[in-house]
Amino acid sequence: MAIVLGPNRYGKAEVRLVRVTRTTATEHELCDLNVSVSLSGDLADTHLRGDNAHVIPTDTMRAVVYAFAQDRPLPAIEAFGLRLARHFVDAYAPIDTARVRVLEYPWIRIPGTHGPHPHAWTRAAGARYAGVLHGPAGTEVCAGLEDVTVLKSTGSEFHGFMTDRYTTLAPTRDRILATSVHARWRHRRLDVVSADWDTSFRAARDTLLRTFAEAHSLSLQQTLYAMGEAVLTEREDLVEVRLTLPNRHHLPVDLDAFGLHNAGEVYQVTDRPYGVIEGTVLRDDAAPALAELPWR
């Protein structure tokens, strides 16, 4: 029986950088990124013989990320990821495929005496995501949201589920629904050159969150599908939406022992264990995603 080298790749993970664009002496813009690069290609010799002639040091990958961050203005993270991925494939002959993942952390200006402060911020929750794959099979881009927490205090039910002797959950016609949205949406491949990345991102994000808020929920699974369906209905540039929605449980507290009635106002928040709902919504005529697309 022969032993062979299987699929492999390597790279630099989580290159952290902050880019300050100094528009004037006191008016600044802030961009906070976390960039990961992964490369594959003609790399068998380094695994099998320790021959590093085709290996680009991961330190070099980090330097490229920092150097490209000098672009002014710094483009949308999808475009930044595309530039990095194409560079690594075009500049280094042994490399045929590059995967780039970018997270952008949002900061908002601190209110000042005369409006938003021009060079002071506070960190907001969640993150914007971009994933790029560039290789022999083509170029593909996905975008998304990371860890955006949402909650609605009514408009959610859960009942009619299977029961047996292990079931303790009571059905409910009114509950708090809370989750941390992890979303990815895939762009049409023909759009990766001309896409208006910022507009597309904001529209998809707003549709996801609006649908969560407005759609009456009979289950988190139903809400997941409604969110993905709404994005694809409104955005022709997108072909697939993947969602991971952990159920952040809020349980009504029984105050009867204290002689008090809890009219759906006091809840215990539990962080674990928790249910997690995952699903994909896609156009039935969409080209399959490239197997190596960096969804995570």
Q: Is 12 a catalytic residue?
A: yes
Q: Is 250 a catalytic residue?
A: no
Q: Which of 12, 134, 182, 187 is catalytic?
A: 12
Q: Which of 54, 249, 250, 280 is catalytic?
A: 249
Q: Which of 58, 117, 152, 244 is catalytic?
A: 58
Q: Is 152 a catalytic residue?
A: no
SS3 assignment for the chain: CCCCCCCCCEEEEEEEEEEEEECCCCCEEEEEEEEEEEEEECCHHHHHCCCCCCCCCHHHHHHHHHHHCCCCCCCCHHHHHHHHHHHHHHHCCCEEEEEEEEEEECEEEEEECCEEEEEEEEECCCEEEEEEEEECCEEEEEEEEEEEEEEECCCECECCCCCCCCCCCCCECCCCEEEEEEEEEEECHHHCCCCCHHHHHHHHHHHHHHHHHHCCECCHHHHHHHHHHHHHHHCCCEEEEEEEEEECCEEECCCHHHCCCCCCCCEEECCCCCCEEEEEEECCCCCCCCCCCCCC
Could you give the residue numbers annotated as active site? 12, 58, 249
